[in-house]
Homo-oligomer: A and B are copies of this chain.
């Protein structure tokens, strides 16, 4: 029986519906929710993302402000912008579009964002609070992966989860999330000897590397849940022989479908869910600001 395909668009739509209702209620009881997103320099991909994000926010009833800083803005200007948004009671959420130019200290900038307004969950303090099992706002990708695993029906506690990739944005937060949820977690990276030996033992396999067809059918234990966080643009020939670009993940989808019990597609899997999690975090952030502990 082929794997169940976990439909990220459908789950994201469900979450957006739930969240939109919460946003409407919050607006009545506590005032509106506003996300300020900071874009430094004119990165076209980041601008495109920022504009699609703005549309999503407005659809859900969240106010959105794009704060644009010039390409040559320095660390001081960036930190001053963050300080101003931290201090503004009308702003309930802040995010910083990556990548930042090389002369910006990203960790210092993320650390400057008020943890209660940090809708991406990337402030080092938010990472540490997750680590201590008292999450305030958790990283969006880890939340999206967690939601996908939850929807697959597999029990995380006691399962062997293997995470391929240990990036700061995906692999590490996902591994941490799975550890705090009491899975046995193996984190692999580019230096791992005999990757297949590890992935074949996984009840839950999460892949976030950026390498098409890294994971084939013989990497996967029959019945495993496979979560593909890779996004790669590859050239292919269409039926008429023309070269076309297509987005694929790190998993050989068709081959692994025949082995896994559940799998996320690319596109339409973890990606749209991560965007929905940012919206959910934006509401969580506004709610948590009503009762600050830290």
Task: Give the interface of A toward B (CB within 8 A).
Answer: 105, 107-108, 111-112, 123-129, 131-134, 157-158, 160, 166, 168, 172, 175-176, 179-180, 182-189, 191-193, 198, 293-294
Q: Looking across the interface, which residue of chain B has its beta carbon closest to that of A105?
A: B293
Which of B107, B192, B193, B198 is the one whose CB lies under 8 Å from A129? B107
Q: B188 contacts A187, CB within 8 Å? A: no
Q: A184 contacts B192, CB within 8 Å? A: yes
Which of B107, B129, B160, B187 is the one whose CB lies under 8 Å from A185? B187
Majority secondary structure of chain A interface residues (helix, strand, loop or mixed): mixed
A132: chain B residues within 8 A (beta carbon): 107, 124, 127, 168
The CA of A198 and the CA of B184, in the complex, are separated in Å by 10
Q: B129 contacts A124, CB within 8 Å? A: yes
Q: A131 contacts B168, CB within 8 Å? A: yes
A157: chain B residues within 8 A (beta carbon): 191
A180: chain B residues within 8 A (beta carbon): 166
Q: Looking across the interface, which residue of chain B has its beta carbon closest to that of A197?
A: B201
Q: Looking across the interface, which residue of chain B has its beta carbon closest to that of A110?
A: B132
The CA of A99 and the CA of B294, in the complex, are separated in Å by 20
A158: chain B residues within 8 A (beta carbon): 191-193
Q: B187 contacts A108, CB within 8 Å? A: no
The CA of A113 and the CA of B22, in the complex, are separated in Å by 35
A124: chain B residues within 8 A (beta carbon): 124-129, 131-132
The CA of A131 and the CA of B183, in the complex, are separated in Å by 19
Which of B126, B185, B187 is the one whose CB lies under 8 Å from A128? B126
The CA of A294 and the CA of B160, in the complex, are separated in Å by 38
Q: A182 contacts B187, CB within 8 Å? A: no
